[in-house]
């Protein structure tokens, strides 16, 4: 029998390795930015076209590479940071430049230009699908410039799995946020399709957060500081009142490397117990510095997941540090411009002792020594004449000479009677056809038996078709707000709202002003309460960023689904009889009443025969 095991060619092995490291354009952005940081760059520029599908370029002013190093950097298993296996547990740098570049070069067109500071000329290398097209000497600034063009050009199946530009750009911006937040001592510039999206100067961590997420973020942050032998914690958490319905602004950095950890996330969430409503998530930007020997960062190809030696200790320290900071925030004095200055102690009285009041008491006075029904004569120690103690009761008798109280006229406060567990049959309306079960399901009678409807999903279907019609016909009505509503969003969130502005206006929103950080709304759809507008827009932005329906659907469909999901009545909400009947009638007037906008069942039926079988 012929041998069936064979070694893979290098270009195929490189493509397989690339599948682990390069999943989408944001993976290339992460690797190239981290390489620039390892090259000790102080200024890094990121240039993106078509969400990274056409071009990802990173330019740095770091120490560059020699012509030999530039050539070797595209070989597999080439690295400048490891000499033996023990070095894997002493890593202070980001990644292995050789492994990343070899994987990227296998699936894209790569052009590298690099020059060391002491050299007069640099090196230019062009590679297409792991094959070197050219290598020559060029004049270039010091540092390195890497351009990655036409990602997955030789693997069309992988390219077809990429999402729309909106979603891929969201992932690129996420990676840019993660790297730039971990290194506020480096200047970052981000260009998207020729326009400057971010320009981050060298700053401290707080200012870097504000530059990324908007000036309004500054007042939301609470500092966290803790220094122990095991762990050093620094950073910020968001105030509870600024929590969001989505997990957007949550960042952990271990030794200046972004990581994901559900275990540590639970530690922060537990510190907010009692401060947040269910379903709301706090923001945090936390740096953890630990001994590199106590962690293993090589359990995941992208190094976003790491393993700690003693997770329980880290959990306890992190939870107590965040809880301590929140406690300090609650008791810390604040500058309140609305307080009443008249209640403050004048400066002249700050050091003055308080005077103890003097009370004069006649210890010989006894009111029982006075005769009954006679007025007490004024004495020397009382300035005004007063009646004897019995005179306090004058006028309390009822009219006439009757002194006995008639208790038949006394009214007692009635006790509150709780309703019976079982409803009296007489109280049931004989004409009622719908009943609400556990404030979640609506039960209705039909000819063949009964119908059980999920009120939340049913209302989603009704609202979805209403919004879809309004967006298509472009004739929705809105209610004018007495005072315009001003909401604050980050730069990229504002860009999404600008894209959706026209469609949102068709649903009934009226935008009076739209700046780089604020949205002013003067009118909202009739069905939307003013207090829900901020939550609805946040959920809508999250849905668009993650593209809950895929790119095969239109933005109109996505907008209708997101608004319907946010505004539908929730499970647990009690409905009146008229509301129950209205919901049933509206559902069966829809074009597709059987499923919700997310293609989940809205109702089930049970025939009388099926019920009979239950009692056999």
pLDDT (tens digit per residue) in 85-113 = 555 555 555 554 456 788 888 889 999 99
Q: Are 74 and 127 in contact (CB under 8 A)?
A: yes
- Below-50 pLDDT ranges, the chain: 96-97, 331-334, 373-376, 378-381, 400, 418-430, 549-552
What b-and-e string marks burial along 316-348, b requiring 16 or more CB atoms within 10 Å of the CB?
ebbbebbbebbeeeeeeeeeeeeeeeeeeeeee
Nearest to 112, CA basis, from 51, 66, 180? 66
> Counting Cβ atoms within 10 Å, is residue 437 exposed (0-12), middle (13-18) or buried (19+)?
exposed
Which residues of the chain does CATH 3.30.565.10 include? Answer: 10-200
State residue 454's pLDDT score: 92
205-330 carries CATH number 3.30.230.10: yes
Which residues of the chain does CATH 3.30.230.10 include? Answer: 205-330
In the chain, what is the straight-line distance between the N-terminal and C-terminal CA atoms, in Å? 64
pLDDT (tens digit per residue) in 457-486 = 999 999 888 888 877 776 667 788 888 888
CA distances from 104 to 10, 107, 285, 337 (A): 14, 6, 30, 56
Strand partners of residue 184? none
Note every long-range contact of 523-532, with CB atoms under 8 Å and residues 24 or more positions apart, other chains counting: 523/478, 523/479, 523/480, 523/481, 524/478, 524/479, 524/481, 524/485, 525/476, 525/477, 525/478, 525/479, 526/477, 526/478, 526/479, 527/463, 527/567, 528/567, 530/481, 530/485, 532/566, 532/567
Helix, strand, coil share (%) of the chain residues, nearest 5? 35, 20, 40
State residue 1's pLDDT score: 55
State residue 364's pLDDT score: 80
State residue 203's pLDDT score: 92
CA distances from 212 to 171, 181, 285, 433 (A): 15, 9, 12, 56
Q: Which two tokens stand for residue 485?
A: 């509503």
Distance CA 18, CA 207 (A): 36
pLDDT (tens digit per residue) in 10-19 = 666 666 655 5
435-605 carries CATH number 3.40.50.720: no
Instruction: Classify strands 449-454 and 441-446 as parallel, antiparallel or unpaired.
Output: antiparallel
Distance CA 106, CA 117 (A): 29
Which residues of the chain does CATH 3.30.1370.100 include? Answer: 435-605
Q: Are 47 and 53 in contact (CB under 8 A)?
A: no
> Which residue is listed with tokens 């990676």?
175
State residue 146's pLDDT score: 94
Q: Domain 10-200, what fold? A: Heat Shock Protein 90 (3.30.565)
CA distances from 44 to 58, 84, 547 (A): 7, 31, 30
Q: What is the DSSP string of 301-314?
A: TTS---EES-HHHH
Average pLDDT, the chain: 79
State residue 577's pLDDT score: 87
Q: Are 219 and 184 in contact (CB under 8 A)?
A: no
Q: Which two tokens stand for residue 574?
A: 């009690």
Strand partners of residue 521? 485, 511
Helix (H) or strand (E) run with residue 456 in it: helix 455-473
Distance CA 309, CA 286 (A): 19
For residue 356, report the phi and psi dihedrals to the nearest 5 degrees.
-85, 125
CA distances from 111 to 105, 133, 135 (A): 9, 10, 10
**DSSP 3-state assignment of 151?**
coil
3-state secondary structure 465-493: HHHHHHHHHCCCCEEEEEEEEEEECCHHH
**DSSP 3-state assignment of 513?**
strand
């Amino acid at each position: 029998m012929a041998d069936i095991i064979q070694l893979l060619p290098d270009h195929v092995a490189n493509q397989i390795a690339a599948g682990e490291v390069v999943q989408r354009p944001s993976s290339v952005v992460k690797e190239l930015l981290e390489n620039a940081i390892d090259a000790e760059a102080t200024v890094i520029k990121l240039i993106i076209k078509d969400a990274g599908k056409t071009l990802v370029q990173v330019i740095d002013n770091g120490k560059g590479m020699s012509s030999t190093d530039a050539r070797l950097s595209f070989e597999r298993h080439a690295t400048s940071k490891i000499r033996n296996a023990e070095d894997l547990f002493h890593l202070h740098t980001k990644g292995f430049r050789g492994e990343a570049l070899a994987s990227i070069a296998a699936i894209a067109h790569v052009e590298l230009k690099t020059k060391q500071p002491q050299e007069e000329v640099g090196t230019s290398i062009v590679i297409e699908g792991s094959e070197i097209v050219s290598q020559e000497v060029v004049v270039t600034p010091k540092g390195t410039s890497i351009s990655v063009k036409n990602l997955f050009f030789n693997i069309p199946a992988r390219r077809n799995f990429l999402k729309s530009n909106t979603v891929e750009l969201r992932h690129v911006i996420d990676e840019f946020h993660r790297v730039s937040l971990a290194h506020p001592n480096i200047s970052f510039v981000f260009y998207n399709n020729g326009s400057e999206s971010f320009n981050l100067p060298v700053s401290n961590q707080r200012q870097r957060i504000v530059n990324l997420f908007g000036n309004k973020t500054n007042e939301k942050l609470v500092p966290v500081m803790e220094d122990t032998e095991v762990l050093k914690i620094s950073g910020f958490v968001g105030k509870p009142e600024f929590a969001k319905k989505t997990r957007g602004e949550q960042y952990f950095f271990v030794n200046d490397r972004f990581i994901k950890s559900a275990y540590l996330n639970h530690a922060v969430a537990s510190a907010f117990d009692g401060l947040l409503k269910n379903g709301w998530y706090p923001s945090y930007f936390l740096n953890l510095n630990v001994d590199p020997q106590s962690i293993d960062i090589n359990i995941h190809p992208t190094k976003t997941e790491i393993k700690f030696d003693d997770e329980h200790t880290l959990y306890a320290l992190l939870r107590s540090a965040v809880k301590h900071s929140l406690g300090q925030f609650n008791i810390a004095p604040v500058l309140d411009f609305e307080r009443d200055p008249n209640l403050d102690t004048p400066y002249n009285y700050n050091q003055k002792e308080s005077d103890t009041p003097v009370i004069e008491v006649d210890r010989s006075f006894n009111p029982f020594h006075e005769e009954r029904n006679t007025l007490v004569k004024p004495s020397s120690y009382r300035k005004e004449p007063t009646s004897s103690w019995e005179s306090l009761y004058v006028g309390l008798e009822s009219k006439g000479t009757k002194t006995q109280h008639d208790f038949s006229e006394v009214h007692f406060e009635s006790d509150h009677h709780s309703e019976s567990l079982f409803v009296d049959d007489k109280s049931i309306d004989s004409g009622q056809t719908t009943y609400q079960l556990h404030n979640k399901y609506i039960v209705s009678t039909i000819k063949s038996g009964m119908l059980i409807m999920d009120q939340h999903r049913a209302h989603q279907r009704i609202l979805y078709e209403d919004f879809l019609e309004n967006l298509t016909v472009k004739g929705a009505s809105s209610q004018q707000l007495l005072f315009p509503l001003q909401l604050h969003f980050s730069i990229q969130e504002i860009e999404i709202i600008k894209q959706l502005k026209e469609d949102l206006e068709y649903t009934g929103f009226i935008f009076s002003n739209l700046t780089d950080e604020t949205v002013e709304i003067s009118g909202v759809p009739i069905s939307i309460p003013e207090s829900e507008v901020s939550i609805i827009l946040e959920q809508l932005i999250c849905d668009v960023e993650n593209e809950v329906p895929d790119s095969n659907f239109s933005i109109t469909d996505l907008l209708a689904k997101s608004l319907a999901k946010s505004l539908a009545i929730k499970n647990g909400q009690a409905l009146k009889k008229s509301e129950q009947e209205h919901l049933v009638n509206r559902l069966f007037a829809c074009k597709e009443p059987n499923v919700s906008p997310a293609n989940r069942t809205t109702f089930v039926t049970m025939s009388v025969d099926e019920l009979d079988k239950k009692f056999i």
